[in-house]
């Protein structure tokens, strides 16, 4: 196949060639970035939380009467005892928050008491000695809290906990040599907190972009607090009994004391619902980018078919002449395929530059990651194949032009 | 003649149904994607209080210092200490502090199950400052603020829930077990985004249920239901220790009528911070800001990045659809080179050819716009799948969006048709006639 005649033929319909190339370039630029966004969002929403998601649910409990903090604490303990007695419940713990909640409490972590700049940042989970079992997180070193280590604090009060459990991610950040157990740190306090246990994985309360530098870094403190944001009761049902437990738990709580608020709409959430809400935006973005990519590719393919069909129609005489002079059907077919390939390669080259340019601009605007070249490569292959596929039908029609066409006038 | 061209255009649409369908679909999808994402963007990026946004300011004072502030910017809210100092100084024509509160109420009397209600603790100036419309009664006075009065303003919906659809002014309502006297019922009012509480980040929430005096809420020890952000040592043995700390949680707003007033207020903030430095409370030079509503929303990045990205990607998609349309129109017009040659030979001016083909393109654009409108309406149903529910519910297909959809489709297609029409107008009549 000779390329030179194809190139000189292209010069006769520059506009069409440029338009197809431009369309391929723009499509490549957008599809690469869309695919990359899809991959990023899907990766984000499939990050594990480290907890027993199938059986955990959360009650958001607020008190309806302002009683003293001691009374509230007594009530929380009575609630816990009642919940743990339920046949469908495996364990329960009060806490200030839960993974993927959206909002949350995070503290600066320092290695020395004099530091003003933080060493790192960690989410704060409060709970009693039942919290680890309730969440179903795995203790990989050290021990759990003892009941006598669990303290009570009032709203807006705060004192450093002498003993804490941390996630492996935080332990490794603070003591990269793996020696964290038994060591201490300072959590916005002059008093040290000693690490008595390390858990494997526990996701943050918020999974927003700003949190990605502190992913999975959490501190668990042995505290029961009457937090003004409400106290969360995290409950773990026995395997397969989630529905029963979610029905029984609010009843049991109201039986304990009815002066409490468990919002009928979102006061009780299974972890599946929590996860769904936490990643709504990510899922939506992935779907939108998916739809746009598919429609875009379809439209580009349709555009190529349309213009090539027009060219074939225009050149029926010339094709007839070539056929009469001895060109085979295969020659005509490969002429159009090669022509399309040349245009596509041109478009793709411009598209690569555009794709990377758009990504670099988005990095500065939207805290996005750098586009991995794999996606550019996938985009290039997809578009080249798409071009060849789209041109196939009009090219076939061209190859079917009979040699006698050469003698006909239009 | 234009009507005739329009008829020709319609006829030409029917002549190559495949090509026509391709163009109409490209324009329809392109314009629909742009309009759906634009409707969401428009909803979240609007000015929530257009006629006053340049007179309402939120002061910021750096009480954290260069080592702990937000990369040089002061914190996004005030500490209790600084907030109260600004109120006492009273340097603005109107001023309020506010924070989010959550209380329990018993809608069916004392024997019912309690439910939660969301509101804000504010000063009396809040209502005239933010132009809160009233159905019954009004806000409260400065005397009520100073007297730490147990009064409350209810939202229309909350009033409906608690008192039925009646004028409840003068009646009592029990919040967190304490009685408050209703002084006003506000009409539906929910500026989006909720600029005055952007620090809390609940920019697109449901309207709040009630407003109570800031001073009263503090007396009743109702804590903030919103954000609280601290630096350094946070060991607080009592609630008072927290109040005196560097924790920021109070959102301040001032109304300043002219640029001169704003400049004067900025100076006052500077001198306040300088006083604090002299007194030894701040170990750093004054670092203050005074942003108006639009600047504040911009600075707080209230528009979610996803909304912008979606809009940009959709616009890029539309551009590709238009490039596609240019190509297809070129094919469509040039196919009729012979016909053009005949018209030109019979004396039609170039401008007539332009007119004919631009009108034909407008017909295509109109068809694309109608398809786009249908797709946009369809897409609005699915918006809930793509964006967070509280944002998705703000997007709707109104008359202005419908008009915009059609107009965008037509204008864009006509613009796209300029090059193909130019090519058509420059067809050489002699050459065409000869080859025929």
Domain-embedded: residue B311: yes
> Is B22 in Cβ contact with A367 (below 8 Å)?
no
Contact A196, A164 (CB under 8 A): yes
- Asked if B213 and B106 sit in the same domain, the reply is yes
Q: Does the beta carbon of A285 lie under 8 angstroms from any beta carbon of chain B? A: yes
- Residue B389: closest C-alpha in chain A: A280
Q: Does the beta carbon of A212 lie under 8 angstroms from any beta carbon of chain B? A: no
Say what percent of chain A tops pLDDT 90.
Answer: 67
Domain-embedded: residue B280: no
State the best of A22, A121, A284, A358 to mutate against chain B, taking most chain B CBs within 10 Å: A284
pLDDT (mean) for B84-113:
90
State the best of B327, B380, B389, B422 to mutate against chain A, taking most chain A CBs within 10 Å: B327
Tens-place pLDDT, residues B260-293:
999 999 999 999 999 999 999 999 999 999 999 9
Tens-place pLDDT, residues B5-56:
888 878 877 877 888 888 899 999 999 999 999 998 988 888 999 999 999 9
- Asked if B84 and B8 sit in the same domain, the reply is no
- Asked if B347 and B235 sit in the same domain, the reply is no
Q: Does the beta carbon of A62 lie under 8 angstroms from any beta carbon of chain B? A: yes
Of A15, A35, A16, the closest CA to residue A296 belongs to: A35
The residues spanned by each domain of chain A are 4-45+281-407, 65-258
Alpha carbons B186 and B184: distance in angstroms, whole number: 6
- Asked if B237 and B110 sit in the same domain, the reply is yes
Closest CA–CA distance from residue B78 to any residue of chain A (Å): 17
- Asked if B40 and B67 sit in the same domain, the reply is no
Contact B83, B63 (CB under 8 A): no
Q: By mean pLDDT, which of A251-255, B206-210, B237-241, B406-410 is the weakest?
A: B237-241
Using a CB-CB distance cutoff of 8 angstroms, which residues of chain B are in contact with residue A287? 385-386
Contact map slice: B 224-243 vs A, CB within 8 A: 224-225, 227, 230-239, 242
Using a CB-CB distance cutoff of 8 angstroms, which residues of chain A are in contact with residue B223? 155-156, 228
- Asked if B104 and B220 sit in the same domain, the reply is yes
Q: By mean pLDDT, which of A1-10, B211-220, B300-309 is the weakest?
A: A1-10
Of A205, A196, A88, the closest CA to residue A145 belongs to: A196
Domain-embedded: residue B7: yes
Which is it for strands A151-153 and A218-225: parallel, antiparallel or unpaired? parallel
> Is B313 in Cβ contact with A30 (below 8 Å)?
yes
Is residue A394's pLDDT more than 80?
yes
Question: Which residues does A353 contact at the CB level (< 8 Å), separation at least 6?
Answer: none
Closest CA–CA distance from residue A355 to any residue of chain B (Å): 12
Q: How many CB atoms are closer than 10 A to CB B120?
A: 25
Q: Does the beta carbon of A3 lie under 8 angstroms from any beta carbon of chain B? A: no
Q: In the listed set B187, B220, B255, which residue is the last one of a domain according to the structure?
A: B255
Alpha carbons B413 and B362: distance in angstroms, whole number: 6
Tens-place pLDDT, residues B217-252:
999 989 899 999 999 888 888 889 999 999 999 999
Look at residue B260 in the predicted model and tell me its pLDDT.
95
Domain-embedded: residue B53: no
> Is A157 in Cβ contact with B242 (below 8 Å)?
yes
Using a CB-CB distance cutoff of 8 angstroms, which residues of chain A are in contact with residue B330? 15-16, 19, 307, 310
Structure tokens at A317: 């005489």
Measure CB to CB from residue A62 to each of B116, B328, B386 and give the nearest one: B116
- Report how many domains make up chain B: 2
> Is B114 in Cβ contact with A64 (below 8 Å)?
yes
Is residue A228's pLDDT more than 80?
no
Q: Which long-range contacts (CB under 8 A, 24 or more apart) does B68-72 make?
A: B68/A116, B68/B231, B68/B232, B69/B287, B72/B287
Q: What is the 3-state secondary structure (H, E, C) of A368-388?
A: CCCCCHHHHHHHHHHHHHHHH
Contact B41, B311 (CB under 8 A): yes
Look at residue A365 in the predicted model and tell me its pLDDT.
84
Q: Does the beta carbon of A366 lie under 8 angstroms from any beta carbon of chain B? A: yes
> Is B176 in Cβ contact with A287 (below 8 Å)?
no
Using a CB-CB distance cutoff of 8 angstroms, which residues of chain A are in contact with residue B224? 228
- Asked if B99 and B17 sit in the same domain, the reply is no
Q: Does the beta carbon of B25 lie under 8 angstroms from any beta carbon of chain A? A: yes
Measure CB to CB from residue B313 to each of A62, A284, A292 and give the nearest one: A292
Is residue A4's pLDDT more than 70?
yes
Q: Does the beta carbon of A249 lie under 8 angstroms from any beta carbon of chain B? A: no
User: Whole domain around residue B125: which residue ranges?
Assistant: 63-255
Look at residue A1 in the predicted model and tell me its pLDDT.
58
Alpha carbons A76 and A290: distance in angstroms, whole number: 47
Closest CA–CA distance from residue A358 to any residue of chain B (Å): 10
Is residue B165's pLDDT more than 90?
no
Using a CB-CB distance cutoff of 8 angstroms, which residues of chain B are in contact with residue A367? 305
Domain-embedded: residue B56: no
- Asked if B213 and B314 sit in the same domain, the reply is no
Look at residue A229 in the predicted model and tell me its pLDDT.
61
> Is B331 in Cβ contact with A292 (below 8 Å)?
no
Q: Does the beta carbon of A30 lie under 8 angstroms from any beta carbon of chain B? A: yes
- Asked if B69 and B40 sit in the same domain, the reply is no
Look at residue A15 in the predicted model and tell me its pLDDT.
84
Alpha carbons A151 and A131: distance in angstroms, whole number: 14
Q: In the listed set B255, B279, B312, which residue is the last one of a domain according to the structure?
A: B255
> Is A295 in Cβ contact with B327 (below 8 Å)?
no
Q: How many CB atoms are closer than 10 A to CB A389?
A: 13
Structure tokens at B77: 């809210």
Going by pLDDT thresholds of 50, 70 and 90, the confidence category of residue A55 is very high
What H or E segment, with its residue span, contains residue B435? Answer: helix B429-435
Going by pLDDT thresholds of 50, 70 and 90, the confidence category of residue B433 is low
Alpha carbons B380 and B397: distance in angstroms, whole number: 7
Q: In the listed set B239, B255, B271, which residue is the last one of a domain according to the structure?
A: B255
- Asked if B38 and B88 sit in the same domain, the reply is no
Of B210, B118, B108, B104, the closest CA to residue B162 belongs to: B108
- Residue A106: closest C-alpha in chain B: B229
Alpha carbons A301 and B331: distance in angstroms, whole number: 15
Maximum pairwise Cα distance, chain B = 99
Using a CB-CB distance cutoff of 8 angstroms, which residues of chain A are in contact with residue B323? 19, 22-23, 26, 303
Maximum pairwise Cα distance, chain A = 104
Ranges of beta strands (E only) in B296-347 are none
Q: Does the beta carbon of A160 lie under 8 angstroms from any beta carbon of chain B? A: yes
- Asked if B93 and B231 sit in the same domain, the reply is yes
């Amino acid at each position: 196949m000779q390329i030179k005649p194809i190139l000189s033929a292209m010069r006769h319909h520059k506009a069409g060639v440029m338009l197809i190339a431009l369309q391929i370039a723009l499509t490549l630029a957008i599809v690469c970035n869309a695919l990359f966004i899809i991959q990023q969002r899907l990766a984000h929403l499939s990050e594990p939380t480290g907890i027993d998601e199938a059986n955990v649910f959360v009650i958001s409990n607020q008190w309806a009467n302002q009683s003293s903090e001691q009374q509230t604490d007594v009530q929380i303990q009575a609630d816990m005892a009642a919940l743990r007695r339920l046949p469908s419940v495996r364990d329960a713990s009060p806490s200030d928050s839960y993974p993927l909640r959206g909002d949350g409490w995070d503290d600066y972590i320092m290695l020395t008491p004099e530091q003003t700049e933080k060493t790192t940042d960690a989410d704060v989970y409060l709970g009693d000695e039942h919290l680890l079992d309730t969440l179903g997180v795995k203790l990989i070193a050290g021990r759990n809290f003892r009941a006598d280590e669990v303290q009570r604090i009032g709203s807006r009060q705060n004192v450093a906990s002498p003993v804490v459990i941390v996630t492996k991610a935080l332990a490794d950040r603070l003591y990269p040599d793996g020696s964290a157990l038994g060591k201490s740190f300072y959590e916005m306090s002059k008093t040290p907190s000693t690490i008595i246990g390390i858990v494997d994985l526990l996701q943050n309360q918020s999974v927003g972009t700003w949190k990605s530098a502190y992913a999975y870094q959490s501190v668990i403190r042995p505290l029961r607090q009457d937090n003004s944001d409400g106290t969360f009761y995290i409950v773990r049902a026995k395997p397969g009994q989630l529905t029963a437990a979610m029905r029984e738990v609010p009843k049991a709580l109201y039986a304990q004391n009815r002066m409490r608020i468990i919002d009928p709409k979102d006061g009780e959430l299974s972890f599946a619902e929590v996860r769904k809400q936490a990643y709504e935006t990510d899922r939506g973005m992935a779907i939108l980018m998916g739809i746009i990519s598919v429609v875009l590719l379809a439209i580009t393919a349709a555009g190529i078919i349309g213009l090539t069909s027009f060219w074939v129609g225009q050149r029926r005489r010339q094709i007839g002449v070539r056929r009469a002079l001895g060109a085979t059907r295969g020659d005509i077919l490969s002429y159009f395929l090669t022509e399309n390939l040349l245009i596509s390669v041109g478009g793709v080259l411009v598209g690569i530059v555009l794709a990377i340019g758009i990504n670099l601009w988005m990095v500065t605007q939207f805290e996005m990651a750098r586009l991995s070249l794999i996606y550019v490569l996938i985009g290039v292959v997809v578009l080249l194949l798409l071009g060849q596929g789209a041109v196939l039908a009009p090219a076939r029609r061209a190859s079917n032009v009979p040699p006698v066409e050469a003698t006909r006038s239009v | 003649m234009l009507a005739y061209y329009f008829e020709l255009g319609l006829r030409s649409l029917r002549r190559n149904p495949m090509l026509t369908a391709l163009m109409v679909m490209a324009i329809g999808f392109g314009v629909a994607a742009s309009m759906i994402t634009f409707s969401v963007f428009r909803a979240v990026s609007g000015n929530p209080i257009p006629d006053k946004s340049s007179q309402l300011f939120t002061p910021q004072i750096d009480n954290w210092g260069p080592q702990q502030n937000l990369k040089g910017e002061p914190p996004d809210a005030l500490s209790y200490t600084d907030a109260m100092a600004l109120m006492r100084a009273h340097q603005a024509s109107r001023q309020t502090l506010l924070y989010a509160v959550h209380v329990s109420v018993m809608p069916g009397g004392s024997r019912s199950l309690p439910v939660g209600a969301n509101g804000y603790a504010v000063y009396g100036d809040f209502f005239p400052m933010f132009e809160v419309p009233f159905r019954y009664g009004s806000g409260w006075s400065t005397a009520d603020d100073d007297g730490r009065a147990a009064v409350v303003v209810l939202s229309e919906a909350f009033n409906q829930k608690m008192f039925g659809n009646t004028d409840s002014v003068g009646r009592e309502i029990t919040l967190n077990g304490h009685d408050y006297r209703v002084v006003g019922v506000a009409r539906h009012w929910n500026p989006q985004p909720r600029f005055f509480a952007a620090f809390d980040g609940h920019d697109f929430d449901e309207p709040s249920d009630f407003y109570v005096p800031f001073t009263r809420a503090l007396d009743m020890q109702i804590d903030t239901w919103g954000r609280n952000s601290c630096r350094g040592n946070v060991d607080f043995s009592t609630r008072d220790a927290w109040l005196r700390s560097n924790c920021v949680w109070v959102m301040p707003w001032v109304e300043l009528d002219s640029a001169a007033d704003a400049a004067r207020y900025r100076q006052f903030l500077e001198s306040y911070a300088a006083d604090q430095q002299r007194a030894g409370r701040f170990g750093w030079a004054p670092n203050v800001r005074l942003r108006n509503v639009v600047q504040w929303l911009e600075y707080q990045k209230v528009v979610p990045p996803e909304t912008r990205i979606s809009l940009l990607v959709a616009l890029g998609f539309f551009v590709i659809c238009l490039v596609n349309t240019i190509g297809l129109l070129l094919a469509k017009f040039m196919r009729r080179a012979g016909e053009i040659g005949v018209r030109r030979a019979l004396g039609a001016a170039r401008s007539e050819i332009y007119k004919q083909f631009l009108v034909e393109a407008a017909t295509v654009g109109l068809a694309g716009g109608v398809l786009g409108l249908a797709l946009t309406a369809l897409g609005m149903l699915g918006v809930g799948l793509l964006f967070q529910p509280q944002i998705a519910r703000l997007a709707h297909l109104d008359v202005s969006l419908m008009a915009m959809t059609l107009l965008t489709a037509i204008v864009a297609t006509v613009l796209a048709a300029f090059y193909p029409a130019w090519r058509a107008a420059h067809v050489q009549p002699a050459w065409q006639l000869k080859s025929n």
